Structure 1
Amino acid sequence: MFIVELTTKTGKVCESHATYEEAKRRVEQFPAESLTDMPLLFEELPDGSQRLVREDGKPLQWHRLPDDRPAGPDEALPLCDESSGLLGEGRWTLVERPGPQDDEWDDEPLPLSED
């Protein structure tokens, strides 16, 4: 059993196929412009784990269990919490950068020694 996993602009597509050729054909038939990530083909092993398969059909040493799939929503997470009230139009405040203290920068440079 081979599993095709595609990440598209509208969500994830996960399909099972009996042979590697069927799975590869499904990936080739899928419209590339709707993909947001590289298509993945996994082979299901007798112990229930899944192994990533290369383009030539040979397995890679990357196993995963069916429970290893990332949990959570397929939609993108926001980069910031807009409810904080700190971001948005007209909410920026200009803060002056502190300058050097007068007594810190009054030192004379050290003279160079003439050896």
Structure 2
Amino acid sequence: MKARDRYTDEIVEIISFCGTTQRNEDLDRVSYIDSEGQEHPNEKLNYYWDFEPIDSNRNEIDWEQRRFEIAKDIYSRNYGNGEVTAKACAKIAVERANILIVELKKGGNNAND
């Protein structure tokens, strides 16, 4: 589960935790993976006091994943038609995906732009 470190604002992936809702230095332990992929096993932290859970059901969009999916779709539809090289097609796909992402982030009706 994802959580935000209350002191650093870093988003981490909680692996496990033990302890109570009250601070107890003998019991409190949190194992997590930080934003750089480093594992931190059994840190002397209290999950309830030191981390804020991030609601995974908030429907937040992963724009990098979306960019990949859009570029992949554009690339697969256009490469192989013999008009451009694979490298040129990839560049065009990423450029078009970026343009679409910018418009999607604006939200609403942008028909007049």
Q: Which has the higher helix share?
A: 2
**TM-score bin, normalised by smaller chain:** under 0.3
TM-score, length basis structure 2: 0.27
Larger Rg: 1
Q: Which has the higher contact order (CA 8 A, sep 6+)?
A: 2
